[in-house]
Chains A and B, each alone.
Chain A
């Protein structure tokens, strides 16, 4: 294994443990550049399918995406270590409801220890009116962070953070481009993305740069190349099961994989344009299942299937993740390759028989149909 890959996948990697104030955040719609520029170590919160989440479910109810229940449970248990602030985005309905419960807990149950909390309501309709709104939300987050840290988030710091995070994204895309050449597994890529969001951007860029160089010479991985659509994965277990079943995930369209780095903020030329550049980047980053239209999703999925040379389209949808099942019919029609759907799967797991059937359908569609 490449040294950089081993380092990135090592949970004890130096730099994963923050040595400055920590900003926990929920959802890829949080403009992390602002957190970095305000002097925080941004830390994206993940759930864990291996831990009991009944404490969170008690507040959020049984019909919500189990990821949110798990994140809430872990927040209440202090599993993330000390968080100096917590920023929640509206990347999906479950995140918004998580925010409302946290806000209410802070209001009515002060004995529950929770960090200062902020909602950044990034919206995604492709309209000018939405851009104006998102711009106001970007400014609101910037002002709130300045209030918390006691000093303004300066233009220079913000410009530097944008450059640093854009660089990480470019390197993630470069890593992704090695996937049709089978230089790494989907499970590995998921771990790489996770590491890249856990590290400060400069450190992440260092390791990703080395990774791209080292992987070029690696032997191809085996498996039938598929594009994975549907739910996001905050834990590698489903990828591992899918790849153990003989598939190779060469691309995906969720924001803990390829979609995290689909576009950059860019250099607006004038520091006065930074906030707008952030607003437009986060509004238009790419069609995530919970927020994008069916048509956008289908077009995006089909394009990714082609650009990654996928031989099949696999849909995996977690129970109570309500958006993706509506996309599937159009994605399947647009993909142009054999397609199979795993619906209403338990969090972090895949039903082995259903996976078997899906693998067979992807390999021999005529027989399965």
Chain B
């Protein structure tokens, strides 16, 4: 076998990051105060705004920008000053801190323009209240969506969702979300003067399906490729930034480009790690602030993280086909987070993905507000896959101590993963 070709940064990842920067700069340039602008949660039905030509900023993306500039703490302090807690759901409440910014010009990326509408599901006990506070700001309307839950569900959702979503999600939940989306469209038509064109909307849905089908092919390539051709730290921005722009030709083409770049690397035998010994899966939000984290395990042990949820959920979680566009969109979001966090869906899906990617171990980051983490770890272990649970509280406390992380993960690799991988 020829020595694999060592890879550099994926061009598509750099291109997506540059696009996002330009897009936000354009938004700043073009936005006049009071004009329609939405702030939405990452897993909200953004396609309606896309179809109506209303720009939107993704709440979690903005939180990640603030975090990258190390400004999260001063954002949370502004909440505290106003009598709001700074210790619940910080990821969702960071952007609210931007609303109270006394000096937006000095904020990351020139600051978050004030939205005219915020859209969010009423998940959790605190998150709807974060948006209540948004809705209290001058010129801002909060449009809440219910977050409904099912008593029973069929297990293998990833096979059923594209076409059989009616029975997979359930008629009651779909009826509810369709009703709410109809209300949202009427609200936007009346308050923004923009038109909702059913034809345009169908186009947006078709582009989104195309984009996610590219992601599916990319995921399948990565799952089958030996050695691993793309670093998770590259695939994440290359997938997520187009995800926030879904329903545009740029986003569809960016997903296509990612696929082609990965395919080229696979045929060239390119590898992110020369001596790949063990394939690992990363379950949970990433430690993206410590990119070196991943590299160290590659270099020391030949252990490569081949999987993160971002590409995988793009591949399985979005595609929906149907004759009724609005109901089809409702089917994408009425149970979106269940796919990732609610057993049996989540647990069975992680096992399916672990097997498809041939991983020999899973590092599972369990955050304080983790949903369904016990079920995920249990299912993976029951499938014979070693799991290391990293508890986020530990990670936080020792963020400054990479030695601790290295020892924990390294010890586990040596004891449980590498002996099996070398068999």
Contact = CB atoms under 8 A, between A and B. Distances in A.
Interface of A: 58-63, 90, 92-93, 96-97, 99-101, 103-104, 107-108, 118-121, 123, 125, 127-130, 132-133, 136-137, 140, 144, 289-291, 293-295, 321-323, 325-329, 332, 343-344
A344 B85 CA distance: 10
A119 B391 CA distance: 29
A323 B126 contact: yes
Interface in B138-171: 144, 146, 148-151
A322 B130 CA distance: 11
A129 B183 contact: yes
Chain B CB within 10 A, most for which of A93, A103, A129? A129
Contacts of A294: 129, 132-133, 136
Nearest to A341: B83
Contacts of B82: 329
21 contacts: A61-B368, A62-B368, A92-B125, A100-B342, A100-B371, A103-B343, A103-B344, A104-B344, A104-B347, A104-B375, A107-B344, A121-B151, A133-B146, A133-B173, A136-B172, A293-B129, A294-B129, A295-B132, A322-B89, A325-B84, A325-B126
Contact of B85 (A59, A107, A129, A325): A325
A326 B343 CA distance: 29
A322 B344 contact: no
B122 interface: yes
Contacts of B130: 326
A289 B146 contact: no
Interface string B117-135: 0000011111011101100
A293 B375 contact: no
B129 A326 contact: yes
B215 interface: no
B148 A327 contact: no
| Secondary structure class of chain B's binding surface, majority of residues | loop
8 A-B pairs with the lowest CB-CB distances in the bound complex, closest first: A329-B83, A129-B179, A63-B368, A326-B129, A323-B125, A322-B126, A325-B85, A290-B125
A332 B83 contact: yes
Given A123-B122, A128-B179, A144-B151, 6 more contacts: A62-B391, A90-B149, A93-B123, A100-B375, A108-B375, A329-B83
Contacts of A322: 85, 88-89, 124-126
Interface size class of B (residues with CB under 8 A): 35 or more
B79 to A, nearest CB: 10
A325 B176 CA distance: 29
A133 B148 contact: yes
A99 B149 CA distance: 10
B420 to A, nearest CB: 23
Contact of A63 (B128, B133, B367, B378): B367
Interface string B268-301: 0000000000000000000000000000000000
Interface in B374-410: 374-375, 378-379, 382, 391, 393
A293 B144 CA distance: 10
B370 A118 contact: no
A101 B374 contact: yes
A328 B82 CA distance: 10
A60 B378 CA distance: 13
B369 interface: yes
B373 interface: yes
Contacts of A101: 374-375
B142 to A, nearest CB: 9
Contacts of B125: 92-93, 289-291, 321-323
A130 B375 contact: no
A123 B144 CA distance: 12
A63 B370 contact: yes
B369 A63 contact: yes
A352 B7 CA distance: 61
Contact of B378 (A92, A108, A123, A326): A108
B366 interface: yes
A121 B334 CA distance: 14
Which of A100, A120, A290, A295 has the most chain B CB atoms closer than 10 A to its own CB? A100
Nearest to A62: B368
Given A322-B126, A328-B83, A127 B393 contact: no
Contact of A133 (B176, B368, B379): B176
Interface string B329-372: 00000000000001110010000000000000000001111111
Contacts of A123: 122, 146, 148
A326 B92 CA distance: 13
B175 interface: yes
A96 B148 CA distance: 10
B180 interface: yes
Contacts of A133: 146, 148, 172-173, 175-176
A90 B173 CA distance: 15
Nearest to A139: B172
B175 to A, nearest CB: 7
A61 B373 contact: yes
Contact of A61 (B84, B150, B347, B366): B366
Nearest to B391: A62
Given A61-B366, A63-B368, A132-B175, A326 B149 contact: no
Given A61-B370, A107-B344, A326 B176 contact: no
Contacts of B151: 118-121, 140, 144
Nearest to B371: A97
B149 A96 contact: yes
Contacts of B343: 100, 103-104, 107
A104 B376 CA distance: 10
A260 to B, nearest CB: 18
A90 B368 CA distance: 21
Nearest to A57: B374
Contacts of B126: 322-323, 325-326
Nearest to B128: A293
B172 A326 contact: no
Contacts of B146: 123, 125, 129-130, 133
A119 B153 CA distance: 12
A119 B150 contact: yes
Nearest to A319: B87
B84 A326 contact: yes
A323 B343 CA distance: 24
Contact of B372 (A100, A140, A326, A332): A100
A96 B82 CA distance: 30
A290 B183 CA distance: 24
Nearest to A137: B172
Nearest to B347: A104
Contacts of A137: 172
A289 B373 CA distance: 26
A60 B374 CA distance: 7
A314 B254 CA distance: 55
Contacts of B88: 322, 325-326
